[in-house]
Structure 1
Amino acid sequence: MSFDIRPADWEGFSAVMGDKGGCGGCWCMLWRLPRKEMEAGMGASNREAMRRIFDSGHIPGLVAYRQDEAVGWIQIDRRMAFPRLAKSRILKPVDDAEVWSVSCFLVDKRVRRQGLSVTLLRAACDFARERGARILEGYPIDSPKPKYPAVYAWTGFAQAYREAGFTEVARRSETRPIMRRVLV
């Protein structure tokens, strides 16, 4: 299966998110907003917050298309765009290196298990490199469960990161490694 990966625009992003806005109305604002603000904004407020990012001209990620239908999303930005990561006990910075982060994935259930996450990660490396990033970091799930529910793996799976050339640099939790790929 072949996918066309493009810099996200609002139309493609919102098509992937669907009417519910991804995971219950998050609209991929989980890491960008303080917890209370994000939870209070589930739905319309989070949608508008992400819409403002797009309207500013900023491209916060990539959208995957299959035959011109938006079927996948990966959010990529400078780590500082995701302040909740810095406050996380498990995902706090490893060091003071300037990194870009992959914070979220959403893959249409009709195209899961077809390598799209790896394709998106590889494209994210190119996207970040073209914008001056030297290191791309991610925070995947690495669960011993043989069938971890994909809907709860919005940060991706560790195996996809490994296949895309990332290596583990820290692990503060049994199931949550911090993985990096040097882009230069």
Structure 2
Amino acid sequence: MARLRAIESEDCALDSQVDDAVGSAWSVGDDQMEVAGEVSDSESAYEIRALSTETWDAFAELVERHNGGRFGGCWCTWFHRPTHSAPVAGQEQSAERTRAFKRDLVETGRAHAALVFDGEKAVGWAQYGSPDELPGIAHRKEVEAEGSSFPDWRITCVFVDRLYRRRGVARIAVEGALDLIPTTGGGTVESYPQDTSGKKVSASFLYNATRTTFEQAGSSYQRPKGKNHCIVRTSVAARVEQ
């Protein structure tokens, strides 16, 4: 496991489906309210662990605390297919089948994420994978237009427990992904965050965090994507774990 230093589809129709599916999420400002229970205030208290069969139970508990995660309960499988795979996509995609689908991806090494832990409790994640592993991005034709180089990795979903929002966990999750990717070969890492331009934006649109979050984690702005998102990139060198 890696300990971090303390620091914080294809078209507009898919974007609309994404926004509709998460429209009931909390506004960014809503997370300033007091919450019950003990929550770590120090970023140094958090730890990054890779999503695996060993961390599956903690990941599953986090997802279940939030009714299956974003996008109508997709168990963080939305981007694993060329088109979305949330239960709302069709009767054949029940919540239980979606959970089983994600579990199978983890067991067969086809799902990657940096999980943020507060003690033994998972409180956030940043999903990452190769373009083949995560093909279902919005505005895919635009992103993969002729002349555009493919990244080695994509970070496609950043999620934080509702009790831990506005505590720097999103940036810790992104940096966790950038710390784990070198152990699987490194290379160019691309993501598609919301470009808020300093404006307050509903959390329902922040399924891949913000441009600022990624820039603070070391990524550089490349170009716009769709109406309100953008493409950012960074590179990380391969690293062999001792």
Instruction: Tell me if TM exceeds 0.5.
Output: yes
| Comparing 125-134 and 92-101, the one that deviates more | 92-101
Residues 1:120 and 1:96: Cα distance change in structure 2 (over 3 Å)? same
Among 151, 157, 165, the residue aligned to 2:210: 157
Structure 1: which amino acid aligns with 2:80?
A: R
Secondary structure of residue in 2 paired with 1:85: coil
Q: Is 1:15 the equivalent of 2:61?
A: yes
Instruction: Quote the RMSD (CA, aligned, Å).
Output: 2.2
**Matched pairs, number:** 184
Q: Is 1:177 the equivalent of 2:239?
A: no
1:27-42 maps to which residues of 2 (within 5 A)?
Answer: 27-35=75-83, 37-38=85-86, 39-40=89-90, 41=93
Q: Is 1:51 the equivalent of 2:103?
A: yes
Q: How big is the shift at 1:111? A: 1.0
**Which structure: larger Rg?**
2
Q: How big is the shift at 1:4? A: 0.9
1:23-102 maps to which residues of 2 (within 5 A)?
Answer: 23=70, 24-35=72-83, 37-38=85-86, 39-40=89-90, 41=93, 43-58=95-110, 60-85=112-137, 88-92=140-144, 95-102=148-155
Q: How big is the shift at 1:134? A: 0.7
Tell me, yes or no, if the aligned pair for 1:7 and 1:59 is still in contact at 8 Å. no
Q: How big is the shift at 1:117? A: 1.3
Identify the residue that residue 49 of structure 2 maps to in structure 1.
Answer: 6
State the alpha-carbon separation in 2 of the partners of residues 96 and 127 from structure 1. Answer: 22
Structure 2: which amino acid aligns with 1:25?
A: G
Residues 1:37 and 1:163: Cα distance change in structure 2 (over 3 Å)? closer
Secondary structure of residue in 2 paired with 1:168: strand
TM-score by length of 2: 0.69
Tell me, yes or no, if the aligned pair for 1:118 and 1:161 is still in contact at 8 Å. yes
Identify the residue that residue 117 of structure 1 maps to in structure 2.
Answer: 170
Greater RCO, 1 or 2 (C-alpha within 8 Å, sep 6+): 2
